[in-house]
């Protein structure tokens, strides 16, 4: 069995993962490896096989391998269909300016230790005559990916 380094959950989140997401610590690595192998065998997908991102998908899908595969396929198919918004991952000055303007805000801490991560989006701050709203959506998806990779709530 391969060694995979994953972020350790605090006890409260570990219990939530077990009860709400059906996470079994004894099978997590095996399930991640199964999804990684499926990604390798799916040439139409240009999907990340990063273990932490796969774990986020598995938790979202309550460790149903078929549901996880479907969501990964849907997500990366959407990225392929809209490459200008979801494809390019470079942080440009324009994207950073959107971030600084406060269109999307991620509070430092969730409402409770076992609470979900929250992102507040204020699209009313976008002046469509002066800026491209597609950039706000691009930033939104970049932030979603960052949350999936770095925030276990």
23 and 44, same domain (yes or no): yes
15 and 64, same domain (yes or no): yes
115 and 136, same domain (yes or no): yes
pLDDT score, position 69: 98
42 and 63, same domain (yes or no): yes
Number of independent structural domains in the chain: 2
Residue 126 lies in domain: 85-150
Exposed e or buried b per residue across 24-53, where buried means at least 16 C-beta atoms within 10 angstroms of its C-beta: eeeebbebbbbbbebbeeeeebebbbebbb
Per DSSP, the three-state class of 104 is: strand
Does any domain span residue 119? yes
Does any domain span residue 6? no
Does any domain span residue 57? yes
pLDDT score, position 38: 98
Break the chain down into helix, strand, coil percent, rounded to 5: 55, 5, 40
pLDDT score, position 132: 78
Measured distance CA(36)–CA(30) in Å, rounded: 10
Q: Which of 138, 135, 140 is nearest to 119 (CA)?
A: 140
15 and 70, same domain (yes or no): yes
pLDDT score, position 40: 96
Name residue 104's beta-bridge partners.
Answer: 121
Final residue before a domain boundary, out of 20, 54, 81: 81
Final residue before a domain boundary, out of 54, 81, 108: 81
Q: Where are the alpha helices (DSSP H) in 21-111?
A: 28-40, 51-60, 65-81, 93-100
> Please, which residues have CB within 8 angstroms of residue 61's CB and are 6 or more apart in sequence?
67, 68, 71
pLDDT score, position 128: 76
pLDDT score, position 114: 67
Does any domain span residue 1? no
pTM summary value: 0.78
Final residue before a domain boundary, out of 81, 112, 131: 81
109 and 128, same domain (yes or no): yes
Positions in the chain whose pLDDT score sits under 70 = 1-2, 109-114, 153
39 and 97, same domain (yes or no): no
Does any domain span residue 5? no
């Amino acid at each position: 069995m391969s060694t995979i380094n994953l972020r350790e959950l605090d006890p409260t989140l570990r219990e939530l993962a077990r009860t709400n997401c059906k996470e079994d610590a004894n099978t997590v690595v095996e399930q991640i490896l199964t999804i990684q192998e499926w990604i390798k065998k799916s040439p139409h997908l240009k999907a990340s096989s990063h273990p932490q991102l796969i774990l986020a998908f598995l938790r979202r899908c309550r460790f149903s391998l078929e549901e996880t595969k479907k969501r990964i396929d849907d997500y990366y198919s959407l990225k392929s269909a809209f490459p200008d918004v979801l494809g390019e991952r470079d942080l440009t000055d324009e994207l950073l300016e959107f971030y600084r303007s406060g269109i999307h805000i991620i509070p430092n801490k969730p409402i409770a230790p076992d609470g979900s991560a929250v992102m507040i989006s204020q699209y009313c701050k976008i002046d469509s005559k002066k800026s491209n709203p597609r950039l706000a959506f691009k930033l939104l998806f970049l932030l979603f990916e960052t949350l999936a990779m770095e925030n276990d709530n």
